[in-house]
Amino acid sequence: MTNPDPNQDLIDMIAKATPDTPINQDHRDRLRQQVLDAYDNRADADAPAARNPLFTFTGATLMKFAASIALLSVIAFFAVTALTPSKAIAFEDVARAVLAIDNASYVTQTVIYEEGQEPVTQDSYKVYLQFPQRFRVDLKMDQMDVVMIADVPADKMLMLNAQEKEAFLIDGLSSITDEEKPTNLIAEIQDHFRKAQQDKALGKVKYEQLGEKAINGQLAIGYRVIDPADTDFDTMDIWADAKTALPIQIVYTSTIDERNKVVNILDSFMYDQTFDASLFSLTAPQGYKLIKASDLIDGLDRTKEQLDQAINEFIGVEAPLLEDLALAMALYAGQTGKLPEQLISGPMIDTMVEAWEKANPGKPIFKDDDIEMADEQLNAAFESVLTAYEFLENLKQQGIEYTYAGSGIEIGDKDTPVFWYKPKGADTFKVIYADMTIREAASAPQKP
Amino acid sequence: MDPDIDALVRRVKSDRDAFATLYDRYYGRILTYCSRRLYSRSVGEDLTGDVFLAAATKIDSFRGQSEGEFSQWLYTIATNRINEYLRSFERRRALLDSAARSQRIGAAQTHNNVDHLDWPTVYEAILRLKPREQTLITLRYMQDLPHDQIAAITGLKPGNVRVMLSRAMEKLRTQFNVEISPPSKGALQ
């Protein structure tokens, strides 16, 4: 449905006045060649590995992006060429020490820098690596308590949700392209150094010396690895033990844009441990309900979106529910007195703003920074409406029809149905009533 | 969005031809966006070049799988480049402003009707908005991008994009009402 825009007349006038921008074919063709050359050259320059799409949430906000990084602190991307040699522990020593690692554990902390906000430090989580290519991430973020175990040679990944006592098994990683398979940070660094050694090019690795500092009482020598492709995304500071040359701390910065970045700090490294085999077990623990990705979606034909959705739902990062819709309706009614005429986010927001301004004459709707709403309740209502919209979109994507019958109704009556749908495979309908309770009904309610 | 284009986007990191096709598809849109934001086709062409060169070298950092995500990524690069340009060339911006204004004078003398808004008039009015509002108006009404994509490009919340756009349009309406009937003294300075 199209949202009516009260400024349509003005929009039309602007459109009418806006000149066409004729294309200069010469410029377009010349630029095309330059751009394709740049594309080719970047491919020659040891391009960074793609992040695992399993953990790259579609349409990710910064927070979601941080979560994806947190789940796979394990992903790395860089390639290097040299600037300055070191004196004490040479960069080559660090590279050799890293290449010798065959198991390790470490703790990762993620800090999010968002424009206009105080930096946000996420909960830390622990990573266990057992080469070749087995790793485990114990992640605790907000309400999440998730363990991810990946065994690339076995072609499997298991995620455990401690709260829900659910285990989610993704098998058949081979259906995913090589560059998209889960990998881990140390393995990526090792791969790079190995290639560089093979090419006898280790001396050409690009890095900067960062000097010395004490980390937890240990003297560390720092090197900054620099991305040859000069992207905004990749810098990595490796602080190595001045005696063993093994990393004590790795600071890994992903720049979203000029204003926003995510910094991962990896420390508390422990090497040469004997891990209990159960740490990397791909069997669901006792008492856990096992959900197989292949049961949810066709293992061969599944798309990244389907996997993303399944994983998102599993870890609860982003799964709008019917309850979210009920909350949005309640918040809307709280602002305007009645339920919305239609469940369309734009007009709902417009009406709420109108009602708010009427109730708060002369009060600015935005804070000074023009980004945040001045009124927290209104802001919460906005957020809620958008989450509800997402819920409705998800229903549409699944081909589920729903009915809205709440137009102009006031909140309160427990027997007036205002919204209902039948979930896929269910025998009963889910119904929101005007008192905002959710109940099930054997048949579709009659419109009031 | 077109599923065939989504398929191209999914191959764009490893398939040169896919990248070339997306370049062909988006060259005009990005050029138009840059040119309209900066009121200069030559500057628009320069920045379009920057945008696509950056996209080519940074393509491995692109995480999307659909055309919508590719479009959003490209517009984000373009928006950042435009903002950088405006910050670096404040003086030039003033000159552009003045150029728009001088054309506006001629325009104002011949068009006294809202139905005959001309580009210099529109541009001058847009220039008087806050930079963020300028970006929102250009992305929404000149590039036809949806609110959620604009939100992702500008780092604002979708609900706020809608409200800020509405505010910006109200400001424009006020300006046009004032400006279109006999040109104000301020506009002629």
Instruction: From chain A, pick out residues whose CB is under 8 angstroms from the CB of B22.
Output: none
What pLDDT, on a 0 to 100 scale, did the predictor assign at position A227? 55
A70 band by pLDDT with thresholds 50, 70 and 90: very low
Length reported for chain A: 448
Interface test with B, best of A349, A351, A366 (most B CBs within 10 A): A349
CB-nearest partner of B118 from A17, A41, A305: A17
Q: Kindly determine whether residue A353 and residue B163, on different chains, have CB atoms separated by under 8 Å.
A: yes
Cβ partners under 8 Å of residue A276, min gap 6:
none
What pLDDT, on a 0 to 100 scale, did the predictor assign at position A234? 55
Alpha-carbon span B144 to B166, nearest angstrom: 15
Question: A10-14, A194-198, A401-405: which has the highest mean pLDDT?
Answer: A401-405
Q: Where are the beta strands (DSSP E) in A256-390?
A: 261-271, 289-292
Which chain A residue has the Cα nearest residue B20? A36
> Measured between CA atoms, how close is B181 to chain A, in angstroms?
16
pLDDT at B113 over 50: no
Tell me the Ramachandran region of residue A399: left when phi exceeds 0, alpha when psi lies from -120 to 50, beta otherwise. Answer: left
> Measured between CA atoms, how close is B53 to chain A, in angstroms?
5
A58 band by pLDDT with thresholds 50, 70 and 90: very low
B100 band by pLDDT with thresholds 50, 70 and 90: very low
Beta-strand relationship, A156-161 and A207-215 = unpaired
CB-nearest partner of B53 from A38, A50, A365: A38
pLDDT at B88 over 70: no
> Measured between CA atoms, how close is B143 to chain A, in angstroms?
10
Contact between A24 and A279 under an 8 Å Cβ cutoff? The reply is no
For a pLDDT cut of 70, what percent of chain A falls above it? 65
pLDDT at B19 over 90: yes
Instruction: From chain A, pick out residues whose CB is under 8 angstroms from the CB of B145.
Output: none
Q: Kindly determine whether residue A60 and residue B63, on different chains, have CB atoms separated by under 8 Å.
A: yes
**Average of per-residue pLDDT across A353-375:** 75
What pLDDT, on a 0 to 100 scale, did the predictor assign at position A200? 47
What pLDDT, on a 0 to 100 scale, did the predictor assign at position A296? 53
Alpha-carbon span A186 to A69, nearest angstrom: 15
* Segment A146-204, tens digit of pLDDT: 788 887 777 777 888 787 787 877 766 554 444 444 556 676 667 666 665 655 455 55
Label each residue of A9-53 as H, E or C: HHHHHHHHHCCCCCCCHHHHHHHHHHHHHHHHHHHHCCCCCCCCH
CB-nearest partner of B19 from A21, A39, A304: A39
Q: What are the Cα distances from residue B112, in Å, to A104, A231, B119, B131?
A: 75, 50, 14, 27
More confident: A421 or A277: A421
**Average of per-residue pLDDT across A300-308:** 47
Question: A54-58, A352-356, A381-385, B15-19: which has the highest mean pLDDT?
Answer: B15-19
The DSSP secondary structure of A118-170, one letter per residue, reads --EEPPPEEEEEETTTEEEEEEEETTEEEEEEEETTTTEEEEEETTTTEEEEE
Question: A130-134, A341-345, A442-446: which has the highest mean pLDDT?
Answer: A442-446
Q: Which of A266-270, A307-311, A340-344, A404-408 has the lowest mean pLDDT?
A: A307-311
Alpha-carbon span A281 to B174, nearest angstrom: 67
**Average of per-residue pLDDT across A98-123:** 76
Question: A9-23, A91-105, B80-94: which has the highest mean pLDDT?
Answer: A91-105
Which chain B residue has the Cα nearest residue A372? B160
Which chain B residue has the Cα nearest residue A371? B156
**Average of per-residue pLDDT across A59-82:** 30
More confident: B9 or A372: B9
- Three-state SS for B181? coil
pLDDT at A412 over 70: yes
What pLDDT, on a 0 to 100 scale, did the predictor assign at position B178? 47
B21 band by pLDDT with thresholds 50, 70 and 90: very high
Instruction: From chain A, pick out residues whose CB is under 8 angstroms from the CB of B31.
Output: 21, 23
> Measured between CA atoms, how close is A61 to chain B, in angstroms?
8
What pLDDT, on a 0 to 100 scale, did the predictor assign at position A314? 55
Q: Kindly determine whether residue B115 and residue A13, on different chains, have CB atoms separated by under 8 Å.
A: yes
CA B21 to chain centre: 22
**Average of per-residue pLDDT across B135-147:** 82
**Average of per-residue pLDDT across B144-159:** 79
**Average of per-residue pLDDT across A208-212:** 86
CB-nearest partner of A23 from B20, B28, B63: B28
* Segment A213-230, tens digit of pLDDT: 888 888 999 988 765 333
> Cβ of B140: how many Cβ atoms within 10 Å?
21
* Segment A236-253, tens digit of pLDDT: 788 999 888 899 998 877
Instruction: From chain B, pick out residues whose CB is under 8 angstroms from the CB of A50.
Output: 13, 60, 63
Instruction: From chain B, pick out residues whose CB is under 8 angstroms from the CB of A234.
Output: 61
Which chain A residue has the Cα nearest residue B70? A59
Q: Kindly determine whether residue A36 and residue B23, on different chains, have CB atoms separated by under 8 Å.
A: yes
Work out how many CB contacts closer than 8 A connect A with B.
162
CB-nearest partner of A233 from B14, B61, B137: B61
Q: Kindly determine whether residue A36 and residue B16, on different chains, have CB atoms separated by under 8 Å.
A: yes
- Three-state SS for A377? helix
Q: Which of A296-305, B29-38, B121-130, B141-150 has the lowest mean pLDDT?
A: A296-305
